[in-house]
Amino acid sequence: MSTASTQMKSVNPAPLGLAGFALTTWLLSMINAGWFTGDSMNMVLACALAYGGTAQAIAGVMELPRGNTFGATAFLSYGAFWWSLALFVLFLHAKVPAAFIGWYLFLWGFFTFYMWLATFRSPRALQLVFLALWITFFLLATGEWTSSVALRVAGGYGGMLTALLAFYLSAATVLNETYGRMVLPIGDVQAVQPRVAMS
């Protein structure tokens, strides 16, 4: 086996996928929380396509040869989420009733919930990302169903918490692997093993 091949297989795509997810989620969540109006949505869409969507999809594909079912499923799915959201906002938003949008968000919450169940043997930091995310999806879905501004704002703050947790796990994975020691704790004594943080 060549050195180049060995180096390629050793690359951990999790920090890339987590950062792409975190940054795009934070931008969208500031709008949901009421910090900015919908006029800011174009920047969210650009980021959703370029980073949240594409970078996460690349991370998911990189997980495939590593044999990581969870990481591949998560990154490819949430990458597709950002692409679907961007396409929806750009072309279909006015044609879809709020109740149906609520189902879209609820089903993403359902997916995230069972992915969260699959994190129970993973670092606490990863568990918290998925816990905060499924709660966020359910808040936003209920907000669409009830037309509740308060629930949408709560979903916005939930999304911001999710983004901060994902940023932390991304940073911890990079720093811990770079320095070969626990620079930022992630809540698991097995953190140095290969499958940490969806890797």
Q: Kindly report, residue by residue over 116-160, the tens digit of the pLDDT.
A: 999 999 999 999 999 999 999 999 999 999 999 999 999 999 999
Which tokens hold the place of 11?
A: 């690359």
The residues spanned by each domain of the chain are: 12-198
pTM of the model as a whole? 0.90
pLDDT over threshold 60, residue 190? no
Q: Per-residue pLDDT for 91 more than 50?
A: yes
